[in-house]
Amino acid sequence: MPATISAIEAAIADGDTARARQALTELEALLPSSSLTLLRMQAWVAHRGGDMTSAEQLYLRIAERVPDDENAGVNIALLSAGRGDVEDARLRLTRLAGRHNRSALVARALADIEAQAR
C-alpha cells in the first residue's frame, strides 16, 4: 500500500492525472471505502484533476469524521471561495485558526481569501 500511495503522490507531482487515477484505482482495491487514507487520496486526485464538486464532497466527508482536519478544512474553504462563497470560506478558516492557531497553512489560506474579497 505505501508504494501505491507513493505512486499517487508522484503522479500528482508530475501533473499526470491519468496515472494518479490509475494508482488510485489500485488503492481502492486495497482499502475499504471507509478508509480515511482512501478518502484523502480520492479528494486529492479529484481536486488536482479539476473535479471540484467531487473533491469538495470528499473533503466534507473527511471533515465530518475528523472535524479539526486542517487540510480538509482549508480545501473546503478554498473551494467555497472559488464558488464565490467568500463569507463561508472566511468563517471556516476563522474557526480552523482557533483550533490551529499557529498554522501557516490556515493563515496563508485566510490571506488568500481576504485578497480575493478585495
- What is the Cα–Cα distance from 32 to 100, expressed in whole angstroms? 30
Supply the angle between the helices 70-82 and 36-48 in degrees, to the nearest 10: 30
CA distances from 75 to 18, 36, 37, 40 (A): 22, 16, 16, 11
Fold of 33-117: 1.25.40
pLDDT tier, 114 (very low <50, low <70, confident <90, very high otherwise):
confident
Residue 117 has pLDDT above 80, yes or no: no
Cβ neighbours of 118 (radius 10 Å): 4
**In terms of C-beta density within 10 A (0-12 exposed, 13-18 middle, 19 or more buried), how is residue 23 classed?**
buried
Which amino acid is located at 25 in the chain? T
- pTM comes to 0.91
Q: What is the mean pLDDT of the chain?
A: 95
